[in-house]
């Protein structure tokens, strides 16, 4: 009733066949690295240098869109003057990584 099943003799896979199977995977990883990972690492490195180079008096834009002038710098926080109220400065405290852009001097004019 049941006929016996015989396995076919498997040929030895050559090294060239194995390489040709993994070549598309290797190519996709290379494309992913050059189009996504490398630019993101470069941008993070530039932002870290920007944060390290902050100085008192720099005019900045935060990642939330607030603009102002740096009045004090701590290890983790920065005080930014964002305007005046009744003749006195209005300052806010933000984390250092929240600084998005350092503007050229004189861009904001007088606050």
Q: What is the pLDDT of residues 63-93, one digit of tens each?
A: 999 999 999 999 999 999 999 999 899 999 9
Work out the percent of the chain whose per-residue pLDDT is above 90.
72
pLDDT for 76: 94
* Residue 8 scores a pLDDT above 80: no
pLDDT tens, position by position, 98-111: 999 999 988 887 65
Q: How far apart are CA 19 and CA 86, in angstroms?
A: 74
Is the C-alpha dihedral spanning 12, 16, 19, 20 positive or negative? negative
Over its C-alpha atoms, the chain yields an Rg (Å, rounded) of 29
Which is it for strands 59-62 and 67-73: parallel, antiparallel or unpaired? antiparallel
pLDDT at 12 over 60: no
Averaged pLDDT, 18-29: 90
Does the pLDDT at position 26 exceed 90? yes
Q: Which residues, 6+ apart, have CB-to-CB distance to 53 below 8 Å?
A: 102
Hey, what are 26's tokens?
Answer: 């290797």
Percent of the chain with pLDDT over 70: 88
Residues 77, 90: Cα–Cα separation, whole Å: 16
Sheet holding 67-73, edge to edge: 88-95, 77-85, 67-73, 59-62, 99-103
Roughly how many angstroms between the first and final C-alpha of the chain, as a whole number?
A: 95
Q: CATH for 55-103?
A: 2.30.30
């Amino acid at each position: 009733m049941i006929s016996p099943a015989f396995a076919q003799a498997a040929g030895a896979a050559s090294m060239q066949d194995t390489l040709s199977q993994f070549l598309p995977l290797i190519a996709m990883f290379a494309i992913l690295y050059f189009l996504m990972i490398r630019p993101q690492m470069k941008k993070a490195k530039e932002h870290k240098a920007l944060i390290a180079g902050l100085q008192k008096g720099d005019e900045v834009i935060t990642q939330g869109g607030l603009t102002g002038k740096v009045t004090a710098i701590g290890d983790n926080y920065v005080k930014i003057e964002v305007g005046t109220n009744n003749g006195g400065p209005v300052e806010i405290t933000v984390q250092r990584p929240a600084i998005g852009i350092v503007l050229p001097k004189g861009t904001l004019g007088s606050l």
